[in-house]
Chain A
């Protein structure tokens, strides 16, 4: 086993603390440290034990918020929320990406992959937008997301956003979509999708646009790279061609989803 000298010394409290230790104490500390590291390595090789639905449900009352709350309403990692920058008077999609959806790494990665694998512009756009609504709300995010963007994007992109949520529960090896372990973790390994999801899946299997949401799920699966460097710039042309930016600004165009954009713009409003 390799021991990182700096990490080891830091674990003991730094060089000053180590200087005060005699040889025997140092040897003992090193032995303890190596035992701990070995335990960690063995644990990492064990198959992960996924929670059950009941275990996940038992966590509900351990949180001061509900899991379905959008990310603009909750602090990261249990911390307090931060003050948000105000939106411009006539906000655009780019403004929302920068000021409310950021860092948006997952959707940018997903769209980047869709672009690299030669998907249609409607699919690339759907990949770019498919999880943005998680800033507002999480349950049924496919439906909420489609509703948010529907007035501004092609019908196929909205269809893909609405139904990717359903297809995430159903593997399709032919299309290249595998059920992710992440879902065992967040829903429970014994989770069964509710009846309306099962019914939606049945409908989708026979739909002529089945592949639109399916391709979003395929790109979704591969968009969890913590080290990926991505930006919205490569998508500006696609946004320009397919996103109907209202001249009044998102939230002020009286569209059926304008109120959703306004809520995202001002999540600190009490009413």
Chain B
């Protein structure tokens, strides 16, 4: 009886946890990706943006705005969790409100080398583009609310 109750309790807890995770994903808050706690903290537009790897180094090369486009800078925070295992991760992409997907040249390199950090992913998009979401591995982050 106790075992059945315990199992039921665990099942309820798991369901609550799963629904909480889904809620977090919808809110665009932190999510766990490959042992990393990841959250989007801002979206800005810039004329010039530093091309640094993630975690960032001190590279001095920049991307520069060209006529007709702009640089969307998506800031993402990372925290390495205890269960992190090093696996190669693809660069995150953003999807605009019109459904078009854009790539960044900022690459994730040695993501477990620093316990906590923040990266800026640079996307060259046509001027006036509104961003809808950011895709990092299996996680999707809502950008519509923060891309004003």
Q: How large is the interface on A (under 10, 10 to 19, 20 to 34, 35 or more residues)?
A: 20 to 34
Instruction: Bits for A140-168, please: 1 = Cβ < 8 Å to B, else 0.
Output: 00000000000000000000000000000
Interface contact B64-A222, CB-CB below 8 Å? no
Check A116/B110 contact, CB under 8 A, given A180-B63, A222-B61: yes
A177 on interface, CB distance cutoff 8 Å: yes
Chain A residues near B63 (CB, 8 Å)? 178-181
Instruction: Bits for A65-98, please: 1 = Cβ < 8 Å to B, else 0.
Output: 0000000000000000000000000000000000
Which 9 pairs between the two chains have the least Cβ-Cβ distance? Answer: A181-B62, A178-B105, A176-B105, A178-B63, A173-B103, A181-B64, A180-B61, A225-B57, A224-B60
28 contacts between A and B (CB under 8 A): A47-B47, A47-B48, A113-B109, A116-B110, A117-B88, A117-B109, A118-B88, A173-B102, A176-B103, A176-B105, A177-B105, A178-B122, A179-B66, A180-B63, A181-B61, A181-B64, A182-B61, A218-B105, A221-B59, A221-B61, A222-B51, A222-B53, A222-B57, A222-B59, A222-B61, A224-B59, A225-B57, A228-B57
Known: A117-B109, A226-B58. 10 other contacts (CB 8 A): A113-B53, A117-B88, A117-B107, A176-B107, A178-B51, A178-B124, A179-B64, A184-B64, A222-B61, A223-B59
Q: Which residues of A contact B (CB under 8 A)?
A: 47-48, 50, 113, 116-118, 171, 173-174, 176-182, 184, 218, 221-228
